[in-house]
Amino acid sequence: MASSFLLCPAEIREQIYRDVLSSSSAKQDSGLSECCAHYNYQLNILRANRQIHNEATKIFRDNIFVKITTPWPEAIEHISSEGKVPVVTAGEKAERFTDFHLWVYIDAPAAPRNHETHSMIICLEDLEAFTWTWHYNNLNYPGLNTHLSLKLTIQDPYIFDRKVPKPLQQRLLLPFGVIKDLSVFSAHGSKLLPSVKDSLVKAQAVPDPTREECLEKATSLKESGTKALEAGEYRQALQQYFDAFEAIHIRINGRKRTIHADGYYIEELKTGIYKGQRGDYVRMVLRIGLVSSVVLAYLTMKEYTEAHFWGKRSIVLFRQSIIGDETEDIEIDGTPSWIMDTVGMHVPAKKELGYIFYRTALASRALGKEADVKTLIKAAAVYLPDDQGVQAEKRALDRQQPLDSWLRRVDT
């Protein structure tokens, strides 16, 4: 088989090597928000014969890897599981791995510890996910970085002391601009350009926006999105909504929505339009309003599958927050009992929640999910008692229910 493969033109072989060995091809995404992607490189091709090994190795070396080392084994687990940072390899294999362009060494100089280190290898494409995970941890635990040191070492892993090109130096170092207030920081390596290091240091010196600024920026972006939606600029509206999520540390990646920095907002706001309110409450109201707006945007564009996905996911999360995962749904006259239980509760943004139920019901109808429509409309009617459209839908369902019961008796 190897002999037949070598009869193929060189450019065909190269493309096959890239399909097998590039990080973009090896990355496997579970598609689930709670699961992290991982890498599966088909390295057996390197064992076929000497020529294939030499040709394939050149292609594999186009991948850019980063080695992260800390004295804490739990940090590696946190980065991969909580931070959703895909790992190429970890443990002993990572310790022995030498084909990396950047070594990230994190330590706590004042903390007593043994001399063991723990490493992981990630791809350059995932470096920003790592630095932002670190950034969110520092927001949750103010002052964390003041106890940490960071040493960045750039290298060409294949030719000693060869200069790493400036664009690659920037891609490797500038993501660390969000890591601020460190106890000790250094960056050096093979012909590191002073201009790149200076750009990094300047970025680290810029203060993080306050929680008040984050919430007000998200509010402004949400309002801009609504104006764009009213003007028929639907894609622009969606982007404004996604940017608003990002402003309050909620990252959107396709259908994945990852919420970060919860602890950062658990304080009373001192200034601005939300002065005197709890930051986590304001953020929750904004989140609900943004989901409602996103569902409306997708509905308006007749992208019913996306509208249903966004709405139903938020409804499921809301239900879990009220009654947990295991409780069986019970309906009272077609309305989920847990919805009725929330009537007397102080639930943030009940009106916007009602519109999530209603708009998800409309998406369900367009998709032919009639069972969902009945439940969602009845739930929406609880939260939107003054909305004529919702109440008209509920009355229509109430008239239909006795007819359905009569038809079932006749069939029997």
pLDDT of residue 406: 35
If DSSP codes are grouped into helix, strand and coil, which group holds residue 107?
strand
> Are the C-beta atoms of residues 123 and 99 closer than 8 Å to each other?
no
Burial of 77 (0-12, 13-18, 19+ CB in 10 A): middle
Domains with residue ranges and CATH for the chain: 1-63 (no CATH), 64-208 (no CATH), 211-411 (1.25.40.10)
Q: Pairing relation of β-strands 250-253 and 184-189? A: unpaired
Answer whether 0.85 is exceeded by the pTM.
no
> Are the C-beta atoms of residues 143 and 109 closer than 8 Å to each other?
no
pLDDT of residue 30: 62
Regions in the chain scoring below 50 on pLDDT = 402-412
pLDDT of residue 405: 43
> Are the C-beta atoms of residues 264 and 143 closer than 8 Å to each other?
no
Q: How far is CA 350 from CA 218, 251, 263, 284, 289, in A?
A: 20, 24, 24, 11, 10
Amino acid at 183: S
With a CB cutoff of 8 Å and minimum separation 6, the contacts of 85 are 36, 79, 122, 126, 129, 130, 133
pLDDT of residue 396: 86
